[in-house]
């Protein structure tokens, strides 16, 4: 390693909008973090917009084992954590002449598209 | 676990449709087949930028110049992404990007026949975008479901950009087709020049032992001939609809066999072109690549050294 002539590998993460998390898009070779950032823009953002970029030396990333599906195994039925686990609510509400309330409806009411309250991704660049 | 058991377990994963990652155990044969394929794909992207790069300074309008420049840049980008994937496969064999590019300059890795050929007119630039990219897109789209995950991920990004290349190429040739008599003539001549190369591009009709192994490992799913037939399906009607002729009197769709019959390209001639870099433009373009690779080595090394000194 002392006499490394080659570039280092950097993993690249892109944040497209301020309200999004960084997303891994691939990797590249670069001699330094500065040049890795420039190369990342050239390699991954020739068309797409973004507000922020991360480059991380590959050696600094810690990952779960790739070919051990067991690590993510779920021995129990996890329906109780999910919306789909409560589908009976709709039926139960019927007795009271009401219907189940969903998050989407609340979001929609608070951000009606006509009032322009929706996030405007193109403006967020600044 | 012994090698045979490991291999059997690997094949079970492949048959279950699982995707393999760079850090997973894999048979040497799998690694080498993948490396050969992706190495060739990567250097073909880079060499594929050359025939069109020649048209950047000569493009007929500013808009055309910007568009073809963007396309050339995309192809170089594809080369970067693919070589990155190849490097991770080559690392256990002690090879990095320098060596992978040295292989190109020393003729140890082949690149696609089409990129050894001349592009003397603006219509050639159009036909490359339309038909050469068209052929390459069929090849790449067929690989999207490859068993090697890092390759599949990069192909997804590449195919998204190729959809721009398709429209770009079609727009150039549609403009020429609606142009003057001289422009239509130029377009016809370009189609005549490229036809045989395009048929060769998909590779031999017979499934070679190496190709069969790639199918066994689900590195690729379709045969060369299936892809060539797909190309003919999509493009013969379009070429003809423009009033252009295809330089093959025997080309026809056989209803009974449900496939296109065509005159075989000169397998030997093109085989030599790709094996020994003996095409009309091979030497000149490899020369340019060598110039970039070798003359700028000191810059690359200086940047590595500068960063190391900063880090101390
Ligand atoms: Fe490409
Ligand atoms: Fe392309």
Q: Which residue of A has its CA nearest to B75?
A: A43
Q: What integer pLDDT is reported at residue A118 of this predicted model?
A: 53
Radius of gyration of chain A (CA): 23
Radius of gyration of chain B (CA): 21
Secondary structure (H, E, C), B91-112: HHHCCCHHHHHHHHHCCCCCCC
Give the residue numbers spanning the domain of A119. Answer: 74-126
B295 or A4, greater pLDDT = B295
Is the pLDDT at B210 greater than 70? The verdict is yes
Sequence-distant (≥ 6) Cβ neighbours of residue B1 within 8 angstroms? B9
CA angle B289, B290, B296 (to 5 degrees): 95
% of chain B residues with pLDDT over 70:
100
Dist. CA B45 → ligand 1 center (Å): 5
SS3 B261: strand
Q: What integer pLDDT is reported at residue A2 of this predicted model?
A: 39
In the 8-state DSSP scheme, what is residue A112?
A: -
- pTM for this prediction: 0.91
Is the pLDDT at A121 greater than 80? The verdict is no
Statement to judge: residues A89 and A53 lie in one domain: no
Q: What is the CATH number of the domain that holds B192?
A: 1.20.1260.10
Of A65-69, B127-131, B148-152, B247-251, the least confident: A65-69
* Strand boundaries in chain B, DSSP class E: 252-254, 259-261
Q: Which of A10, A26, A34, A38 has the highest number of chain B CBs within 10 A, making it the mutation to test binding with B?
A: A26
Evaluate whether residue A68 is within a structural domain.
no
Is the pLDDT at A1 greater than 50? The verdict is no
Domain end position, chosen among A38, A60, A82: A60
Handedness of CA B136, B140, B142, B147 (dihedral sign): positive
Sequence-distant (≥ 6) Cβ neighbours of residue B116 within 8 angstroms? B273, B274, B277, B278, B279, B280, B281, B282, B285
Of A1-5, A71-75, B269-273, the least confident: A1-5
d(CA A66, CA A68): 6
Our CA-based measurement puts residue A70 at a distance from the nearest CA of chain B, in whole angstroms, of 14
With contact defined as beta carbons under 8 Å apart, do B273 and B282 qualify?
A: yes
Please count the structural domains in chain A: 2
Using the Cβ of B156 and the Cβ atoms of chain A, whether some distance falls under 8 Å is answered with no
Q: What integer pLDDT is reported at residue A124 of this predicted model?
A: 45
Dist. CA B107 → ligand 2 center (Å): 23
Mean pLDDT for the stretch of residues A87-111? 93
Dist. CA B125 → ligand 2 center (Å): 12
Q: Residue B160: CA atoms inside 13 Å, Cβ hemisphere, count?
A: 11
Q: Which two tokens stand for residue B115?
A: 């990129």
Is the pLDDT at B42 greater than 80? The verdict is yes
Using the Cβ of A32 and the Cβ atoms of chain B, whether some distance falls under 8 Å is answered with yes
Q: Which two tokens stand for residue A50?
A: 């973004």
Q: What integer pLDDT is reported at residue A117 of this predicted model?
A: 52
SS3 A11: strand
d(CA B280, CA B273): 9
Q: What is the CATH number of the domain that holds A17?
A: 3.10.20.520
Q: Which of A2, A41, A43 has the highest number of chain B CBs within 10 A, making it the mutation to test binding with B?
A: A43
Evaluate whether residue A24 is within a structural domain.
yes
Find the CB nearest B84 among A29, A32, A46. Answer: A29
Evaluate whether residue A67 is within a structural domain.
no
Our CA-based measurement puts residue B168 at a distance from the nearest CA of chain A, in whole angstroms, of 15
Find the CB nearest B80 among A5, A35, A43. Answer: A43
Is the pLDDT at A119 greater than 50? The verdict is yes
Dist. CA B115 → ligand 2 center (Å): 12
Mean pLDDT for the stretch of residues B37-55? 96
Beta-sheet pairing, B252-254 with B259-261: antiparallel
Mean pLDDT for the stretch of residues B258-262? 97
**Residue B161 CA to chain centroid, in angstroms?**
14
Edge-to-edge order in the sheet of strand A52-57: A23-30, A8-15, A52-57
% of chain A residues with pLDDT over 70:
84
A71 or B220, greater pLDDT = B220
Please count the structural domains in chain B: 1
Which residues of chain A make contact with B81, given a CB cutoff of 8 A?
Answer: 26, 43
Give the residue numbers spanning the domain of B73. Answer: 3-311
Statement to judge: residues A91 and A125 lie in one domain: yes
Among B75, B53, B9, residue whose Cα is nearest residue B284: B53
Q: What integer pLDDT is reported at residue B310 of this predicted model?
A: 86
Among B142, B167, B144, residue whose Cα is nearest residue B157: B144
Statement to judge: residues A54 and A97 lie in one domain: no
Sequence-distant (≥ 6) Cβ neighbours of residue A54 within 8 angstroms? A12, A13, A15, A22
């Amino acid at each position: 390693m002392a006499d490394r002539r080659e570039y280092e590998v950097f993993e690249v993460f892109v944040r497209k909008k301020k309200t999004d998390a960084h997303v891994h898009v691939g990797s590249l070779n670069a001699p330094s973090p500065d040049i890795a950032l420039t190369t990342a823009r050239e390699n991954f953002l020739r068309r797409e917009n973004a507000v922020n970029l991360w480059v991380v030396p590959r050696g600094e990333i810690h990952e779960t084992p790739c070919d051990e599906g067991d690590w993510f195994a779920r021995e129990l039925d996890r329906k109780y954590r999910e919306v789909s686990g409560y589908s009976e609510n709709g039926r139960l509400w019927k007795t009271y002449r009401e219907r189940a309330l969903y998050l989407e409806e609340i979001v929609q009411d608070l951000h009606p598209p006509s009032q322009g309250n929706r996030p405007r991704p193109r403006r967020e660049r600044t | 676990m012994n090698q045979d058991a490991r291999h059997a377990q690997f094949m079970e994963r492949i048959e279950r449709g699982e995707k393999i990652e760079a850090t997973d155990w894999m048979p040497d044969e799998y690694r080498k087949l993948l490396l050969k394929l992706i190495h060739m794909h990567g250097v073909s992207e880079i060499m594929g930028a050359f025939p069109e790069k020649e048209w950047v300074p000569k493009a007929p309008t500013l808009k055309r110049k910007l568009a073809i420049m963007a396309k050339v840049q995309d192809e170089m980008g594809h080369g970067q992404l693919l070589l990155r994937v190849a490097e991770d496969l080559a690392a256990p064999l002690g090879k990095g990007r320098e060596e992978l590019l040295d292989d190109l300059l020393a003729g140890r890795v082949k690149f696609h026949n089409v990129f050894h050929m001349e592009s003397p007119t603006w219509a050639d630039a159009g036909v490359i975008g339309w038909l050469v990219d068209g052929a390459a897109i069929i090849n790449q789209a067929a690989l999207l479901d490859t068993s090697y995950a890092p390759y599949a991920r990069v192909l997804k990004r590449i195919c998204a950009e190729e959809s721009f290349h398709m429209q770009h190429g079609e727009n150039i040739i549609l403009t020429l087709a609606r142009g003057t008599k001289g422009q239509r003539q130029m377009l016809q001549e370009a189609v005549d020049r490229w036809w045989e190369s395009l048929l060769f591009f998909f590779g031999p009709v017979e499934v070679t032992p190496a190709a069969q192994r790639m199918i066994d490992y689900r590195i690729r799913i379709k045969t060369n001939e299936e892809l060539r037939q797909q190309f003919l399906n999509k493009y013969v009607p379009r070429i003809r609809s423009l009033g252009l002729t295809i330089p093959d009197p025997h080309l026809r769709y056989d209803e009974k066999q449900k496939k296109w019959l065509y005159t075989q390209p000169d397998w030997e001639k093109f085989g030599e072109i790709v094996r020994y870099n003996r095409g009309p433009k091979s030497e000149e373009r490899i020369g340019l690549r060598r110039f970039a690779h070798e003359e700028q080595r000191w810059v690359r090394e200086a940047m590595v050294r500068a960063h190391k000194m900063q880090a101390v």
